Chain A
Amino acid sequence: GIQVEQSPPDLILQEGANSTLRCNFSDSVNNLQWFHQNPWGQLINLFYIPSGTKQNGRLSATTVATERYSLLYISSSQTTDSGVYFCAVERWNTDKLIFGTGTRLQVFP
């Protein structure tokens, strides 16, 4: 099956710092989503981004489908950004999302 690897596995930042999270996948996909799981366990969809670039406030994401990777940028990080960030992909015509291993982000004041 498709492999989805995220890096780094853990990231510790001070408030105000910028960061880049990476998602590599091993096969062609028609669907890629980024999620944030907050410390209370809630999973929030950040981006639906099978290709191209999107921005939402301090967050932006870029997927280069031909090279099988996606990047999530967090600028001016805040303590509320803490949690686990997941990338999830769907191979063509499989109708199921495969989640990556996650990046645990801790932002300290």
Chain B
Amino acid sequence: DTAVSQTPKYLVTQMGNDKSIKCEQNLGHDTMYWYKQDSKKFLKIMFSYNNKELIINETVPNRFSPKSPDKAHLNLHINSLELGDSAVYFCASSQIGPSTDTQYFGPGTRLTVL
């Protein structure tokens, strides 16, 4: 039983193309996130959604557009890909409560822009 799944696992594409990464969680969580991990392993939050509503947008270029069709899915669409977009993108989910906010991560999508 995969709790947080992402597709595809690897994505290799040319500069200027548009691509999407899909994320699904079956944990019943209300909140979902996208993170970017660069080549130095630094992890930074990009977006978070709570019940399909955008909560956090961390000064990410508007070429990145998240979409949440329902609270179990949070997809990431990237337009006009640039070399600097190469990274590993992680989706995560959590259920925020009074004594817990544990985040569960997907396996990551390694994006390479040539």
Q: Which residues of B line the A interface, CB within 8 A?
A: 41-45, 48, 55-56, 58, 88, 90, 92, 96, 100-105, 107-108, 110
Q: Are A43 and B105 interface neighbours, CB within 8 A?
A: yes
A60-88 with Cβ < 8 A to chain B: 84, 86, 88
With an 8 A cutoff between CB atoms, is A7 at the interface?
no
**When the two chains form their complex, are residues B107 and A41 in contact, meaning their CB atoms are under 8 A apart?**
yes
State the main secondary structure of chain A at its contact with B.
Answer: strand
Q: Secondary structure of the B side of the interface?
A: strand
Instruction: Give the total of A residues in contact with B, Cβ under 8 Å.
Output: 21
A42→B58 contact, CB < 8 A: no
Residue of B nearest to A84 (CB): B41
B107, A95: Cβ atoms under 8 Å?
A: no
Within 8 A of B (CB), among A27-55: 31, 33, 35, 37, 41-45, 48
B103 adjacent to A95 (CB under 8 Å): no
The reply on A58 being an interface residue by CB < 8 A is: no
Q: Which residues of A contact B (CB under 8 A)?
A: 31, 33, 35, 37, 41-45, 48, 84, 86, 88, 90, 95-99, 101-102
Separation of A35 and B56 alpha carbons in the complex (Å):
22
Contact check: which of A45, A84, A98, A101 meets B103 at CB < 8 Å? A45
Report the Cα distance A96→B43, complex, angstroms.
Answer: 12
User: Within the complex, what minimum Cβ distance (angstroms) separates A82 from chain B?
Assistant: 14
Give complex CA distance A41, B96 in Å.
Answer: 25
